[in-house]
Structure 1
Amino acid sequence: MRVVSLVPSLTEAVAVTLPGLLVGATDWCTHPADLDLPRVGGTKYPDLDRIRALRPDLVLLNIEENRREDAAALAAAGVSIRLTYPRTVDGALTELADLLRDLGASAEPDWLASARRAWAARPETPVTRRAVVPVWRRPWVVLGADTFAGDVLRRLGVSNLYAEQPQRYPRPTLEQLRATVPELVVLPDEPYRFARDDGPEAFPGMPCALVSGRHLTWYGPSLAAAPAVLAAQLANPVVAG
């Protein structure tokens, strides 16, 4: 089987579980570090001609990361596609197991079993901190309702103040964000690369946790380490003057 992945999380999951299956990936597929594959552009605007030229038996997409238009164009061209859309940790573990089995894995890979154990060993923590979770600035965009990353944080005791909004990714003003008076501001390093000097200064006097975007938003091998990595980062916020 020849597989093209347009989802960085799934690229890593397939590459480490079923080496040799992937024949193409996006420019944003950065894991595993030694991945050596033809690139087909970005997740939002892939080169569809290049994808078709790779003669894939299957293209992996995600409803959130990839555009509906590209999925429709590939399907119309006779290319088989598989859409993923996990919105919870448990949902991600299930979708990964189903996908890898359908791709030919004879047993659940060690990293997926480790991820199950890691999350099972950390029972859901009672909510202790009310937070806002920006994922972009200029304009500000935050996590809203029904997101995988939101469930990850909830499992770690962080309540997203925008979780009840109708939009999945609201665009409040900075003044509106500050007015929610969050107990914590969670700033991942992707998709926007928040850093100590880029993000916390917008929330003076408020604790800001700088966290790994890969461990917060990727659903793949990073899930095994995510509970410990994120818990440590959430416990050590910085406060801008």
Structure 2
Amino acid sequence: AGTDYRSASGRGYSSKAELDFHTDGADVVALTCFNQAPEGGMSMITNSVAAHAQMQKERPDLLELLHQPFHFSRQNEQAPDEGPFYPNPVYDEADGRLCSKWNRNRIQSAQRIEGVPPLSPDQREAMDVLDDILRRPELMFTTYLAPGDMQILSNHTTLHSRTEFTDHPEPERKRLLYRLWLAPPDGPRLPESWRPAYRSVAASSVRGGIVGQSQDDMRRNFERRMAATHGMTVAAR
């Protein structure tokens, strides 16, 4: 840990800084704590669906903007057939279900990329209002993950974050969490507007994660075998 979270290639897992509320690029994210930080690193979870309902009451004019595309940076981890950014609304629906995709850091990072239109003042205000609502005590749950604790979240209805932390000097005692991204067999259909991010929006589909430069035939064949075992389809890679 110790990298710059706000850099063009910054990632939260390698930084000690406080993170923005965000979703990961998978249907489900699981975090298991192995080592706890001596100070800080509090886990924060908030309800993106409840935040949508609250914003509808307070600022429906700005909420409408969040249903329109924003541009998200891929943080220099795009696959050869992917661009450095992709469009995605913060909120959209599929089969009557509201879904959210939010990562302020990646939206702001995309502003550095050629071809991305600048955020309008109204878009920035909408982002600020959403962030304010997400942090309200009635929507947010906070906890410290202790060794052995596991946290499992849907990325389509919840957002997660953590506070800044300081770490132990000894390598074997440093804060360590194991993360798993899951595409469950009963995964829901996603909004069509999610396709640039997930490649597949079909229900029961192996999708998500970071394709990047590491995909090879061995990994693709493994995905196909696992998908066949569970009766799932596989997103095009």
State the TM-score, normalizing by the size of structure 2: 0.28
Bigger strand fraction: 2
Say which structure, 1 or 2, has more relative contact order (CA 8 Å, 6+ apart): 2
Bigger helix fraction: 1
State the TM-score, normalizing by the size of structure 1: 0.27
